[in-house]
Chains A and B, each alone.
Chain A
Amino acid sequence: MMDIIIGLLASFGAIFVFLAAVGVLRMPDTYLRISVTTKAATLGIGLLLVAAAVFFKDLSIATKVLAIILFILLTAPVSAHLIGRASYFSGVKLWKGSVLDDLEGKYDKFSHKLKSEMKENSEKKTDQIGED
């Protein structure tokens, strides 16, 4: 019974890691690749580590595995955001099928700050009031 549970957890984890690898190879754009790696790899690695915790049946090892999973869950979005920001500044183009770029023209290329975010919001508010 235990073997079946471990086998199922390990197979699902391996399938998710494999899907992440295929996504990294096949996706047309840097940003889509970032999205694929963070989601799929986190779940796949979590399942593989849980399989190891179920196999050893020891509290200290389960704690260690929980610490690793928690660390990965915390750090994967942070690193994805940082690398996505760096790639946006270094001028990586979006895929031609992308529909929306919210940040277009809003980032200052030199100081790396959001340009006139507050001003635009207040303008929108006054516009709405005027229309009312």
Chain B
Amino acid sequence: MTLYDFLYYIILPILSISVLLIVIRFIKGPSIVDRVIALDLIITTGIGIISVYSIITNQPTFLDIAMILALIAFLSTVAFSYYLEKRNK
């Protein structure tokens, strides 16, 4: 079994299943805070999928997009929590 097969047939399916589980929490989530957390974790898992995909396709350029996604996840969480606090005042 080569590294390509291992990443393609074992690691990527595990990451995809975890994204599906988080999406279930995103749909179920009783409060809006749970949805914000689920969204944050989906983007973080997306960074992992991008890094595995850059190994598979041998293209290091994808890691730039991972960096931008990390930035956007942090900014969106901060903005959501700021406006949630404002709303309850």
Residues of chain A having any CB pair with chain B under 8 Å: 3, 6-7, 10-11, 13-15, 17-18, 20-22, 24-25, 30, 33-34, 37, 41, 44-45, 48-49, 51-52, 55-56, 58, 61, 64-65, 67-68, 71-72, 75, 78-79, 82-83, 85-87, 89-92, 110, 112
B-side interface mostly: helix
| The 8 A-B residue pairs with the shortest CB-CB distance in the complex, in nearest-first order | A21-B18, A87-B33, A86-B81, A79-B77, A82-B81, A86-B84, A75-B74, A21-B21
**In whole angstroms, how far apart are the Cα atoms of A11 and B87 in the complex?**
42
Given the interface contacts A18-B17, A25-B21, A64-B64, does A6 sit within 8 Å of B3 by beta carbon? yes
Size category of the B interface is 35 or more
Number of A-B contacts (CB under 8 A): 161
A20 near B85 with CB under 8 A, answer no
